[in-house]
């Protein structure tokens, strides 16, 4: 099983979760983070660290977020690995909780 970064992370991209990951399975795109499903050990350390609750256990993934399981796997293969917490985007708070952000995902 794996954990999945969902839509709420798009344009918010807080990296608090990255720092606690013992296996460095986070990958970073321009405005979104993903978890590599083959590297995640299901430790659950990242989930409570996300300030916007954008990380889900695969078996608790909301129905409207199921497409993010495949999206995380796809993008983790092409984006660079991230192992340290970085700065959140300056406008992250403005995007928090906004619906329909998938169209804003930058690959």
Query: What number is the average pLDDT over the span 25-37?
Result: 98
d(CA 106, CA 38): 23
Query: What number is the average pLDDT over the span 26-44?
Result: 98
d(CA 33, CA 27): 6
Q: Is there a domain that residue 105 lies in?
A: no
Q: How many domains does the chain have?
A: 1
Q: Is there a domain that residue 52 lies in?
A: yes
% of the chain with per-residue pLDDT over 70: 100
Q: What is the CATH number of the domain that holds 73?
A: 3.30.70.20
How much is the pLDDT for 49?
Answer: 98
Which residues pair with residue 55 across a beta bridge? 5
Span 43-79, pLDDT tens digits:
999 999 999 999 999 999 999 999 999 999 999 999 9
Is there a contact between 7 and 23 (Cβ–Cβ < 8 Å)? no
Domain that holds residue 31: 3-82
């Amino acid at each position: 099983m794996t954990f999945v970064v969902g839509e709420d992370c798009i344009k918010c991209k807080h990296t608090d979760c990255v720092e606690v990951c013992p296996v460095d399975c986070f990958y970073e795109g321009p405005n979104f983070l993903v978890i590599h499903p083959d590297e995640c050990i299901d430790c659950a350390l990242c989930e409570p660290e996300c300030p916007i609750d954008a990380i889900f256990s695969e078996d608790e993934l909301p129905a409207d977020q199921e497409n993010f399981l495949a999206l995380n796997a796809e993008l983790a293969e092409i984006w660079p690995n991230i192992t340290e917490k970085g700065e959140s985007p300056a406008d992250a708070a403005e995007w928090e909780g906004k619906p329909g952000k998938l169209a804003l995902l930058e690959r």
